[in-house]
Chains A and B, each alone.
Chain A
Amino acid sequence: MRRSVGVGVLVVGVLTPFVPLLVWAVSGRWRYPSLLPQELSARGARLLAEPGSQVLSGLVTSLTVGAAVTVLALAVGTPAGRALGLYSFRGQRLVRFVLLAPAIVPGLAVLLGTQVFFLRYGLADSVAGVVLVHLVPTVPYVTLVTAAAFANFDVGYEQQARLLGARPLQVLRHVTLPALRPALMVAASFAFLISWSEYVLTVLIGGGAVQTLPLLLFAYARGADLTLAAAVALLLVAPPLLLVAAVSRRLPRDHGPLVGLGRL
């Protein structure tokens, strides 16, 4: 009972700031000093639904980039997490620091050094380039989360599976991945969320040619039309909330300590 009250307070606390956004998004005419808009308007909703609209294509771009970044960050970060979590080796602290450096150093600083390479290899102004640069802030998180999971993983399970006739890929599929499922779900959520809300890296590498939702939001927010800005903002906020809710429901009950993304 007390628990559900706590959760309720939390949900209200998190969601309240979105109420004005919601109101803005549907407002037509709204003058000082009235508390609520005088007229409602569907302009915001239309903007999102209109076929061929900038916002829809931004949504698709954001989802594409986010999905690609998630897959690649898992593919790159999980083996690194395995190495850090399972084995102790010389220079481990240094490797750990280097892997985490992008999460510590501001992305902008990293980027100014690497942008020249993106230009040289024709990756600037392309979705591929944006995906690649989003790996900089995401891989460290994937590595951290999976390293923690691997530190609690008994490789005896893998040896046992091999001695029962499982080939390495079968071991991965039937033993290792199921054991790491909660951590991988959390790591994937992190990767997607970071990519989803990334702005600076996208602007610099995408060069305006890759229009993700955060970029569109920025453009609309600078314009005069707050209704449109609020509508895009809601669109930007909703998927992460849904994602976190979905993931946290599917996590096993006792995985709360896993970087705080426990079941709600």
Chain B
Amino acid sequence: MTPAPAPEAVSLRGLCLTYPAAGDPAVDGLSLELAPGTLTALLGPSGCGKSTTLQLVAGLLTPQEGDVRFGDRSVLGTPPERRPVAMVFQRPLLFPHLSVGDNVGFGLRMRRVPRHERRRRVEDMLDLVQLPGFGDRRAHELSGGQEQRVALARAMVTDPRVLLLDEPFSQLDAGLRGQMRDLLRHVQRQVGVTTLFVTHDQLEAVELADSVALMLGGRIEQHGPPRAFFERPETVAAARFFGAANIVAGRVSGGRFECELGELAVVDAQEGPGHLVARPEVLRLSEGASRNTVQGTVTRADYRGTSIAVIVTVGAVSLQVTVPPSVSVPVGARVGVHIPAHACTVVPAEPDDRYGPGRT
């Protein structure tokens, strides 16, 4: 393999883009920093602007405001073909009139790399994506997973400093998707290219990425290591997107959280109004009364195979608790729910209080 160029830091600053026909901006003041050589997942529901963001980085779209910087240079004036980026789309988009080898070598040919060197690098790349000897096949002879691997090889062969992937595995079936994730991780570690990976699949983002940028409504809601989204969500929306089913409005005062459940001990909480966020799997059903335990009635118990999702109603609040499938929880039973202080987070209320004073 030829030595890869140093990976580039990518910095997106205050990007705004509104499509001509649309009223709401697709990307609305988005800022994001990608450390060199890392794999960042840009996660969000469909329509949140994540593909648009990717196209802004690629140069297929130009922002109306803001800046895209690679290292310390702005690339706004640089057309896509001159940016050191490569992109893999959702569809493999292999050129149908070219062989697999010519597809992989396309970028090298555009850069007028001599034929023999092209050939060698194409072979290296096909080896890396575990398709050795596939160079002479036609694109239409490949399976979906193979096509996407060729697309990855084609993107990587030019030694890009930044690799962009737009839901590249979403059209593959589940088992294959896992394999492709492993392969991408392997290739990305080998080459160490700064990578931005768009996905709507929370699990895919967490499994694959060094860091996750959650995008909602055209901006970054939270950016950090995958673990942070489970353990320290920064906003109610981020917590909710990652499945924290229990979100209770209240106020922190003197290190204690006052809400409809009563007064609860919390850790590291900022004083003032906020929301208590607790994942269903950190809550415990308990018998007796103890610290941070509230009493309620079981109103529902849904068997989920590896667990049971129990709904406990405490006054006007419903708490969801995950228990092992061996535990028997009859509907109507009075139970205590233990809310461990160290496993919960209080998210301070935002100035405009987007989520209102209501409860969940």
**Which one of B85, B86, B93, B107 contacts A156 once the chains associate, using CB atoms below 8 Å?**
B93
> Chain A residues with Cβ under 8 A from B89's Cβ?
156, 159-160
Q: How many B residues touch the partner, as a band?
A: 20 to 34
Interface code B57-101, partner A: CB below 8 Å = 1, 0 otherwise? 010100000000000000000011110011101010101110000
B158 located at the interface, meaning its Cβ lies under 8 Å from any Cβ of chain A in the complex: yes
Q: How many residues of A contact B (CB 8 A)?
A: 17
Verify B80–A163 contact, CB threshold 8 A.
Answer: yes
Q: Kindly state whether residue A164 has any CB partner on chain B within 8 Å.
A: yes
Instruction: Give the residue of A154, A157, A166 whose beta carbon is less than 8 angstroms from that of B81.
Output: A166
- Find chain B residues with CB under 8 A from A92 CB: none
What residues of chain A lie closer than 8 Å to B79, measured between beta carbons?
162
B contact residues around A178 at 8 Å (CB): 95, 97
B93 close to A162 (CB less than 8 A): no
Residues of A within 8 A of B155 (CB): 163-164
CB distance from A32 to the nearest CB of B (A): 60
Partner among A157, A163, A174 whose Cβ is within 8 Å of the Cβ of B86: A163
The distance in angstroms between the C-alpha atoms of A164 and B109, with both chains bound, is 10
Whether B95 and A162, one on each chain, are in contact in the complex, defined by CB atoms closer than 8 angstroms, is no
> Which partner residue on chain A sits nearest B86 by CB separation?
A163
Q: Cβ of A163 and Cβ of B87 under 8 Å apart?
A: yes
Q: Mark B105-136, 1 if CB is under 8 A from A, else 0.
A: 01101110000000000000000000000000
* Cα distance, A175 to B155, chains bound together (Å): 16
Q: How far is the CA of A10 from the CA of B154 in the complex (A)?
A: 47
- At the interface, yes or no: A203 with Cβ under 8 Å from chain B? no
| Given A159-B60, A174-B110; A164-B93 close (CB under 8 Å) | no
Give every chain A residue within 8 A of B60 (Cβ-Cβ): 159, 162-163
Contact with B along A169-197 (1 / 0, CB 8 A): 01000110011000000000000000000
In the complex, A232 Cα to B87 Cα: how many Å? 59
Instruction: Determine how close the nearest CB of chain B comes to the CB of A174; give it in whole angstroms.
Output: 7
Q: Looking at chain A's contact residues, is the secondary structure mostly helix, strand, loop, or mixed?
A: helix
**Given A178-B97, A179-B96 in contact, is the A161-B106 Cβ separation under 8 Å?**
yes
Chain B contact residues, majority secondary structure: mixed
The reply on A33 being an interface residue by CB < 8 A is no
Min CB distance B8 to A, Å, is 15
Is B97 in contact with A162, judged by CB distance below 8 angstroms?
no
Q: Chain B nearest CB: distance from A189 CB in Å?
A: 21
Q: Is A165 positioned at the interface, with any CB of B under 8 Å from its CB?
A: yes
User: Which of A159, A161, A162, A165 has the most B CB atoms < 10 Å from its CB?
Assistant: A165
Across the interface, A162 reaches (CB within 8 A) one of B81, B111, B158, namely B81
The answer to whether B96 and A163 touch across the interface, beta carbons within 8 angstroms, is no
**A159-B60, A161-B106, A174-B110 are known contacts. Are A167 and B81 too (CB-CB below 8 A)?**
yes
Give the contacting residue for A154; candidates B80, B85, B87, B91; CB below 8 A.
B91
Considering residues A157, A159, A161, A164, which has the most beta carbons from chain B within 10 angstroms of its beta carbon? A164
A164 touches B86 (CB 8 A): yes
Chain B residues near A170: list those with CB within 8 A. 110
Look across to chain A and name the residue whose beta carbon is closest to the beta carbon of B92.
A160
B87 contact set on A, CB distance < 8 A: 159-160, 163
Complexed CA–CA distance, A229 and B97 (Å): 46
Q: How far is the CA of A160 from the CA of B91 in the complex (A)?
A: 10
For residue B111, give the distance in angstroms from its CB to the closest CB of chain A: 6
B154 interface neighbour in A159, A164, A175, A179, Cβ under 8 Å: A164
Residue numbers in A under 8 Å from B80 (CB-CB): 159, 162-163
Q: CB-CB < 8 A to B164: which residues of A?
A: 163
Inter-chain CA distance A179–B93, complex, in Å, is 12
Instruction: Please report the C-alpha to C-alpha distance between residue A161 and residue B98 in the assembled complex, in whole angstroms.
Output: 13
Q: Is the CB of A179 within 8 A of B86?
A: no
Residues of chain A lying within 8 A (CB to CB) of residue B106: 161, 164, 166, 174
Q: How far is the CA of A157 from the CA of B106 in the complex (A)?
A: 12
In the bound complex, residues from chain B placing their C-beta under 8 Å from that of A154 are 91, 93
Bound together, the chains give a CA A167 to CA B155 distance in angstroms of 16
Distance in angstroms from A152 CB to nearest chain B CB is 12
Cα A165 to Cα B108 in complex, Å, equals 8
CA distance A156 to B106 in the complex (A): 15
If A170-B110, A178-B97, A179-B97 touch, does A164 touch B158 (CB 8 Å cutoff)?
yes
Extra inter-chain contacts (12) besides given A154-B91, A161-B110, A163-B86, CB under 8 Å:
A156-B93, A157-B95, A160-B87, A161-B95, A162-B79, A164-B106, A164-B155, A167-B110, A174-B106, A174-B109, A178-B95, A179-B96
23 A-B pairs (CB sep. < 8 Å): A154-B93, A156-B89, A157-B93, A157-B95, A160-B87, A161-B106, A162-B80, A162-B81, A163-B80, A163-B86, A164-B81, A164-B86, A164-B106, A164-B155, A164-B158, A165-B81, A165-B110, A165-B158, A166-B110, A174-B106, A174-B109, A174-B110, A178-B95
Q: Which B residues are closer than 8 A to A by beta carbons?
A: 58, 60, 79-82, 85-87, 89, 91, 93, 95-97, 106-107, 109-111, 154-155, 158, 164
